[in-house]
Amino acid sequence: MLRGCYKVSHVHCFDVIVVDDLIIDLLLELPEFPEPEKVILPLRFERQVGGNGNFLIMASRLGLSVKAIGCIGNDSNGRFLKESLLREGVNVEDVFIKSGLTKTCFVLICNGSKAFIGGLTENTVFLQSNDIKEEMFNGKALYFSSYSLIDKD
């Protein structure tokens, strides 16, 4: 963790900056995990902020000043994710909207057990190194996780 703010004092200094892994979780609560070729109906279906969005929201609720750096698609999931983060007090000025799909994860839940299916396709948008500028990192701490580092090829 860095001591003090990395940037000059006239720029707002965030407590935590979170890099990418902005994901939508699609939760399906099931009566049982499906067998091949079997159709079952979910007990519940819900769309939620997932990935690093969970960390951003919890940190903001704890009173920390937080900013997201990342990208989302220009789809309904991207709009939902950005609106959810804004509503929770997360700074999204460095979240890019790109043509394509927001990263998703299907979360299958059955009797307390979970299975995860990543929803990455050739149309899924990713943060690229040329999107990132040094001046974005005006914070005391940096957080990122590995899902956004998966090679999509």
Q: What is the pLDDT of residue 122?
A: 87
What is the third-level CATH fold of 14-144?
UDP-N-acetylmuramoyl-L-alanine:D-glutamate ligase (3.40.1190)
Question: pLDDT-based confidence at 8, cuts 50/70/90?
Answer: very low
Q: Which residue from 48, 53, 84 is spatially nearest to 70, judged by alpha carbons?
A: 53
The H-or-E segment that residue 32 falls in is: none
Q: What is the pLDDT of residue 120?
A: 84
Domain boundaries, the chain: 14-144
Look up tokens 């299907």; give the residue. 106
Q: What is the pLDDT of residue 134?
A: 92
Sort residue 111 into left (φ over 0), alpha (ψ -120 to 50) or beta. left
Cα gap 19→67, rounded to integer Å: 9
Cα gap 38→31, rounded to integer Å: 13
Average pLDDT score over the chain: 90
Residue-by-residue DSSP string for 55-86: HHHHHHHTT--EEEEEEEESSHHHHHHHHHHH
Residue 73, beta-bridge partner list: 98
Predicted TM-score of the model (pTM)? 0.86
Cα gap 142→107, rounded to integer Å: 27
